Structure 1
Amino acid sequence: MIEVVENKKQLKEFIDFPHELYKNDPCYVPELYIGQKELLWKADNHPFFDHSDMRLFLAKRDNKVVGRIAAILNNNHIEYTRQPEGFFGFFDCENQQVTANALLNEAAKWLKGYQLKNIIGPVNQSTNNTCGLLVEGFNTPPVVMMPYNAPYYSELLENWGLQKKTDLLAYEVSKDSTQSKALNLLDRLISRLESKGIVIRSINTKDFKNEVAKIREVYNTAWDKNLGFVPMTENEFKVTAKELKMILDPRFGIVAEKEGKIIGFAIGIPDINEIQIDMPKGRLFPTGIFKLLFRKNKVSTLRVMMLGVLEEYRKLGIEACLYGKIIRNAEGTNITKAECSWMLEHNYLMNHAIEQINGRLYKRYRIYEKAI
């Protein structure tokens, strides 16, 4: 039986279902309940709902939840791309094809009601949020704000008729492997950029509001040709920046600047999933908040989650400098490795920049599509 999520009891079931599904999986990391609720519940006024909408569905058998899915109507994406396509996201399901089919059929039916012709996913609201289905790299837990799922999910989706649209890549960079010639040449490369009037510096947290506004301009321009990208609204970017500021170390927020204009940036955040993996059902209270506060500085992994350079300044080595600066700044901390994610499989320039510092491709995520 398929239910539409219409009240807080059903919302709680929707958010908590993966905890039961993955209770015996050592790689599963529960999402923070409070963050999921804000994303999913329209009454909590997340800025996504200022312009778009989504419908949540639960699959139940004998009154027990066995699957969930969100059908997502992102009007900004449709307006920006001029494509009549919708998303499905927040997909979790038992290993039963009939259950997966029922959920996907319901999501497709809701999107067709808006005259959409194509369904894409898994994408949680937009590619600015968590997206992709893990298809390679199941042996380690996901890092912060990256998805995780059982290996059988790909079979469920493909049996329903979904086909690969693109792959998203995650690279691992260990501290030991970065003592390469490329990283050792970082100072020379930075000097060469400075001779062109380009300065590499840390984000100024004392002027965070203005820094965020400048970074948003680069973000919405640098990604404009990426698959499925849609610019973040001012309110959406503010919410993201506010969340990141709580865990951002300025040593791992680096910008490239020319004549006072930010032309590129990279943001690395500590992998708080190392802490959340020990939080039952993603609850901060009563003890989760203390785990976050006291263990944050002991995290060993950094996720480089955003990196963008304006098109006219690419091929100057800025990307490698941004990565290299973050990695060098990790010296003297507990950080022993970084994940650079996600990267489009065809973004050869960025992927090459990571490979230059001995990045190793170790996880692969897939976005699917199907005509409806």
Structure 2
Amino acid sequence: MSVVVRPVSGWRDRREFVDLPYRLHSTSGVWVPPLRLERHIFLMRSQNAYFTHGDAQLFLAWRDGRVVGRISAQYDDNFNAFHGNRWGMFGFLEFEDAADILPPMLEAAEIWLRAHGRDHMIGPMDFGMNDESGVQIEGFERMPFIKQPWHPPYYAVRCEEAGLAKAMDLLMYELVISDRSKILPVVFKLAEKVEPRHGIKIRRMSRRSLRRDMDAFAEVYNEAWSENWGFVPYSEKDLDVYAQEMQLVFDRNWYMVAETESGETAAIAITIPDINQVLMRMQGRLLPFGWWHFLRKGRTIDRVRVGFLGVKNEFQHTGVAAALYVEHFDTASRVRQKWGEMGWILETNRNMNRAMEAMGGRVVRRFRVYGRDL
């Protein structure tokens, strides 16, 4: 039977869209089932801030009455305005291992994007680069961290067979953040000079100040990441939703702001205890016992994802990044979390890749974003 791709329409289709990866990956041993409720909320236009500056269409691939694949097509007006282009994206990519499934799904996404004035397509990403992005091409044996995709090896093979071309690789570094011996001595020397020479101190965020500190985060992010491939500035609505999400995984030990004596934000670091370790036990559901594992997450999580560590351009010379690195190692010496992963980091970001090497990091995962002209 041939594959037929149709737009998602109605609750039953939405449920099929959400449920597909559970069927495809539940026996992998490492794939982490997200909360089904969270996935449904994430796809709701009324709940996801993405839809205040973008639009999307979900598709399902059917064969003989059963779902064999899914894909989204989307575009982000903020991305297009910042980069001055008409690119679109595809995402939420899942499919069975058959050569005839992915091509018609990509075609459906392309037709929708062309109808909305797009001339190039990149992906996968769900919906943007700071959600799950890329197709995994290395590190299949490792359990993914929060907001990391996991795919079996055939995904990359089918993508290349379908004619998708590499656009960018995203790297994840493993860091044993309790082992100070792996850091180059120059990092400590730089860190020691930050406060006496430049008057910059590091403070921790609090739950009460989290939304206000998200404004400081956006200030740094929108400057420090602005030259990165795929960058999209955070909007006010994005920050409102992001702060709400952060409350669920907040740990004061790992949310840091570096400030001058006058209170100006110089740098920021947001490191997230890996809730995936808890979600693995919850198996995608709050009931009947998933909530119990969530309440006991502090006893379960022993690893973190260093997701954002950025410095404003005017403070690049101060060594404040080194101070934040050292603060991570000091924190790990007194809390349960002793190791983690840093990234993603663009393969073209020489400064950050060199910094990770100086910290004793090693690349353990690689995700590939593909592109195609429309």
Global fold match (TM > 0.5): yes
Superposed, which structure 2 residues align to 1:106-117 within 5 Å? 106-117=108-119
State the match for 1:45 in structure 2.
47
**Does the 8 Å CA contact 2:178/2:330 hold for their aligned counterparts?**
no
State the match for 1:13 in structure 2.
16
Mapped partners of 2:297, 2:29: distance in 1: 20
1:207 aligns to 2:213 (yes or no): no
Mapped partners of 2:7, 2:135: distance in 1: 23
Q: Any idea what the Cα deviations from partners look like across 1:39-79, whole Å, max 9, x if unmatched?
A: 2122x332111221100001111221110001012121111
Work out which of the residue numbers 361, 364, 371 in structure 2 matches 1:362: 364
Mapped partners of 1:147, 1:90: distance in 2: 10
Decide which moves more: 294-303 or 69-78: 294-303
Mapped partners of 1:111, 1:88: distance in 2: 9
**Does the 8 Å CA contact 1:170/1:364 hold for their aligned counterparts?**
yes
What is the SS of the residue equivalent to 1:246? helix
Aligned residues: 369
AA aligned to 2:354 is: H
Mapped partners of 1:291, 1:301: distance in 2: 16
Work out which of the residue numbers 223, 231, 234 in structure 2 matches 1:232: 234
AA aligned to 2:52 is: D
State the match for 2:270 in structure 1.
267
Work out which of the residue numbers 144, 147, 167 in structure 1 matches 2:146: 144
State the match for 1:191 in structure 2.
192
Decide which moves more: 98-107 or 270-279: 270-279
Superposed, which structure 2 residues align to 1:287-366 within 5 Å? 287-366=289-368
What is the SS of the residue equivalent to 1:335? coil
Mapped partners of 1:133, 1:151: distance in 2: 9
State the match for 1:172 in structure 2.
174
AA aligned to 1:97 is: A
State the match for 2:101 in structure 1.
99
1:23 aligns to 2:26 (yes or no): yes
Decide which moves more: 12-21 or 240-249: 240-249
Mapped partners of 1:183, 1:338: distance in 2: 21
Mapped partners of 1:264, 1:175: distance in 2: 20
Query: Tell me, which stretches of 5 or more residues in structure 2 are unaligned?
Result: none
What is the SS of the residue equivalent to 1:227? coil
1:350 Cα offset (Å):
1.7
What is the SS of the residue equivalent to 1:242? helix
Runs of 4+ in 1 over 6 A off after TM superposition: none
1:206 Cα offset (Å):
3.6
Mapped partners of 1:320, 1:141: distance in 2: 29
1:244 Cα offset (Å):
1.2
1:322 Cα offset (Å):
1.4
What is the SS of the residue equivalent to 1:98? coil
**Does the 8 Å CA contact 1:174/1:336 hold for their aligned counterparts?**
yes
Mapped partners of 1:229, 1:176: distance in 2: 31
The 3 A distance-change label for structure 1 pair 58 and 350 is same
What is the SS of the residue equivalent to 1:179? helix
1:130 Cα offset (Å):
1.7
1:245 Cα offset (Å):
2.2
State the match for 1:277 in structure 2.
280
**Does the 8 Å CA contact 2:187/2:322 hold for their aligned counterparts?**
no
Mapped partners of 2:21, 2:159: distance in 1: 17
Query: Tell me, which stretches of 5 or more residues in structure 1 are unaligned?
Result: none
Q: Any idea what the Cα deviations from partners look like across 1:311-356, whole Å, max 9, x if unmatched?
A: 2222433223212212320223221211101111121222222222
The 3 A distance-change label for structure 1 pair 66 and 241 is same
1:175 Cα offset (Å):
4.1
State the match for 1:129 in structure 2.
131
The 3 A distance-change label for structure 1 pair 54 and 185 is closer
The 3 A distance-change label for structure 1 pair 181 and 118 is closer
Give the root-mean-square deviation of aligned CA atoms: 1.7
The 3 A distance-change label for structure 1 pair 128 and 277 is same
The 3 A distance-change label for structure 1 pair 296 and 14 is farther
Mapped partners of 2:339, 2:362: distance in 1: 11
Decide which moves more: 293-302 or 99-108: 293-302
Decide which moves more: 134-143 or 33-42: 33-42
Q: Any idea what the Cα deviations from partners look like across 1:178-226, whole Å, max 9, x if unmatched?
A: 323537963x433311121211222244422322222211111211111
Mapped partners of 2:19, 2:282: distance in 1: 13
What is the SS of the residue equivalent to 1:193? helix
Mapped partners of 2:27, 2:206: distance in 1: 43
**Does the 8 Å CA contact 1:320/1:356 hold for their aligned counterparts?**
no
Mapped partners of 1:364, 1:209: distance in 2: 32
State the match for 2:72 in structure 1.
70
1:136 Cα offset (Å):
0.7
